[in-house]
Amino acid sequence: MIRWLRSVLSVTNRPLHDRLMALISVAVASAVAITGIAAYLITTFATYDQLDRELLAVADLTRNWIAGDAESLGGLNSEALATAKVTVMLVRSDGRTFTPAGDGVQLVSTATELAIARTQMGTTARTGVATDGEAYRIVAVPFAEFGPGSTTPIYYALVTGKPLGPTDQILRILAFSLLTFGLLAVLLAGAIGWVIARSGLRPIQRLTEAVTRVTETDQFEPIAPGGMDELTDLTGAFNTMMRSLHSSRERQRRLIADAGHELRTPLTSLRTNVELLIADERQGMLPEGARAEILRDIAAQLGEFTQLIGDLVHLSREDKVEAHPEPIDLRDVVNSAVTRAKRRGPNLIFDVETEPLYLVGEPDSLERAITNLLDNAVKFSPPNGRIKVRLVGDRLRISDEGPGIAEADLPHVFDRFYRSDQARTTPGSGLGLSIVAQTIKAHGGWVKAGRAASGGAEFTLRLPGSAEPLDSPSETTGSIPVVGE
C-alpha cells in the first residue's frame, strides 16, 4: 500500500483526482488499521484478564478444598477437572509436583511456579503448555500447610490452568472480521474518495477546459458557476478575467482595424501627391501653381496624419501611464483651452462664463479634453458663430450654433473613430471625443452629448469638485486612477 501510494504521489503528472483518491484511501486504511489493531489488543487483554480472574477464583476454591490434604489434592481427580475444563497442579518448594489422580492432562511447571512456592509472594499468570502440547493459560498462587504433627509449614504453589483453544479461536475470528471489514472499508473509502474527488474537482476541470477552449478557439466564453464554495469564487474570478480579456481583445482588434483604415487614407493621399511631384520632376507635367498647391495639400495631410498618430499614441498610452493628480482650479484649465481654441477660430465669438470649481486632477489631460470639445465646436460653427462655455457648479457646458448632432449619432459620438455622415468631409481623426470620454471618466466624472437650444451641438461634462479651494489632494473624496481605465 505504501509503495503504491509513493508511486502514485511521486508522479507529478498523475491526475489530481487519482492522487486525492489515493490519499483518502490511505487515510482511511490507516485509521482502520489503527482502530483494528487497538480493538484486537484491547479485546485480547480483556479476554486474558478475565480468564486470569476466573483461574484465580478457581485457585481460591481449590485452596479451601484441599486444605488439610494438600498432596492428595483433596481427592480431586482428572475426570472431574476435565469436565470443568480446568487443570490443577501443586508444586512444592523442593520442586516436587502433585497432580490429581487419573491419566488426565497435566500442566508443565516452570521456575515461575517454583519461585511462588518458595517465596510465598504474589501471583503469576502466563501462557504455557500441558503434556498434550496444547496451549494453556496458567495461574499460580502461594499455598502453605502444616504437615501432620509438624510445626513447620510446607510451602506450595497452587497452579490452575485452562486451555486457550476456545479463547484463541474467538480472537482469530475477531482478527479475521476486523481484517475483512477493514479491507471492505478501504475499498469503499477509495470508491467514495474517487467520487468526491471527481465531483469536487469538476469546477477545476471546467476551468481547465475553458482555458483550453480559449487557447484553441480564441473564444472567451464564461463558465456557469455552481455552489457557494471557494471553487465557485475562483470560477467567478476566472469569468471576470475572461470578460476583461474579451473586452481588451475586442478593443485591441477594433483599434487595430480602425487605425489601419484611418491611416490608409492619409497615406494613400500622401503617396499620390508625392508620386505626382516625382513625375513632375521628371516630365514637367504639372501646370503653373499646381506644384505649390500639392505641397500645401501634403502639409495639410501631414498635419492630419500627425494628429491621428498623436491621438492613437495617447489612447494606447493611457492604459499604462500613471496619473499625477494635483489640486487645480478648473477655470484656469477652461480659460487656457479657450485661448487655444480662439487661435483656431479667429472669426468666432466665444461667450465664456465660469464659476470656481476646485478639484484634484491632471491639468494637461483635462485641458486636452476640453480643447477637443472646443475644436469640435470650432469645426462645425458657421462664420461669426457663437460658442458658449458655461462652468456652473460641477457642470461644464460647451455649445455651438452648428448643424448639431443627429439623434442616430448621439449614442456613438464617443466611440473611437466614429464619424457621422456630415463629419466625414471635415479633417480629424475621429478620436477626439473618445479621448474626452476616457479622460473625464478617469477623473470620476461623465460626459454626454445633446442638442443646444440654438440647434447646434452641446456637450455637458461633470467633474466632482468643490467651490472652495483644496489645500492638498487628500481633501478630495475621490482618487484619480490611471487615465483610460
Check whether residue 303 and residue 357 sit in a common domain.
Answer: no
- Domain containing residue 259: CATH number: 1.10.287.130
Question: Which residues lie across from 392 on neighbouring strands?
Answer: 395
Q: Do 345 and 386 contact (CB within 8 A), yes or no?
A: no
**Sign of the alpha-carbon dihedral angle for 87, 92, 96, 100:** negative
User: Which residues, 6 or more positions from 138, have their beta carbon under 8 angstroms from its beta carbon?
Assistant: 55, 107, 113, 125, 126, 127, 128, 159, 160, 161
Check whether residue 163 and residue 238 sit in a common domain.
Answer: no
Annotate 138-196 with DSSP letters as a single string.
Answer: EEEEEEEEEPTT-SSEEEEEEEEEEE-HHHHHHHHHHHHHHHHHHHHHHHHHHHHHHHH
Report if residue 211 sits inside a domain: no
Domain boundary among 154, 183, 200: 200
Cα separation, 353 vs 389, in Å, equals: 6
Residue-wise over 113-133: b if at least 16 C-beta within 10 A, else e?
bbbbbbebeeebbeebebeee
Phi then psi for 289, rounded to 5 degrees?
90, -15
Check whether residue 432 and residue 290 sit in a common domain.
Answer: no
Q: Do 440 and 463 contact (CB within 8 A), yes or no?
A: yes
Report if residue 480 sits inside a domain: no
Strands 87-92 and 97-98: antiparallel
**Sign of the alpha-carbon dihedral angle for 390, 429, 414, 256:** negative
Q: What's the pLDDT score for residue 69? A: 79
Q: How many domains does the chain have?
A: 3
Range of the domain at 4: 1-200
Check whether residue 167 and residue 271 sit in a common domain.
Answer: no
Domain boundary among 315, 342, 365: 315
Check whether residue 47 and residue 109 sit in a common domain.
Answer: yes
Q: What's the pLDDT score for residue 315? A: 59
Report if residue 346 sits inside a domain: yes
In order along its 485 residues, the chain shows pLDDT tens digits of: 556 555 545 544 566 667 777 777 778 888 888 988 999 899 999 999 999 999 999 888 888 888 877 778 777 777 767 777 888 889 998 889 888 877 678 888 889 999 999 998 989 999 998 888 889 999 999 998 876 666 788 899 999 999 998 888 989 999 999 889 888 888 888 788 777 777 766 767 777 777 777 777 766 666 666 655 566 777 777 778 777 777 777 767 766 766 666 666 667 777 887 887 888 777 777 777 777 888 877 776 676 677 667 666 665 554 443 456 788 999 999 999 998 888 878 889 999 999 999 998 888 888 888 988 998 888 888 888 999 999 998 999 999 988 888 887 777 787 766 555 555 445 555 667 878 888 898 888 999 988 888 888 899 999 998 888 876 544 444 444 333 33
Check whether residue 360 and residue 468 sit in a common domain.
Answer: yes
Model confidence pLDDT, tens digit, residues 60-82: 888 888 887 777 877 777 776 77
Check whether residue 255 and residue 158 sit in a common domain.
Answer: no
Model confidence pLDDT, tens digit, residues 77-103: 777 677 778 888 899 988 898 888 776
Domain boundary among 299, 315, 331: 315
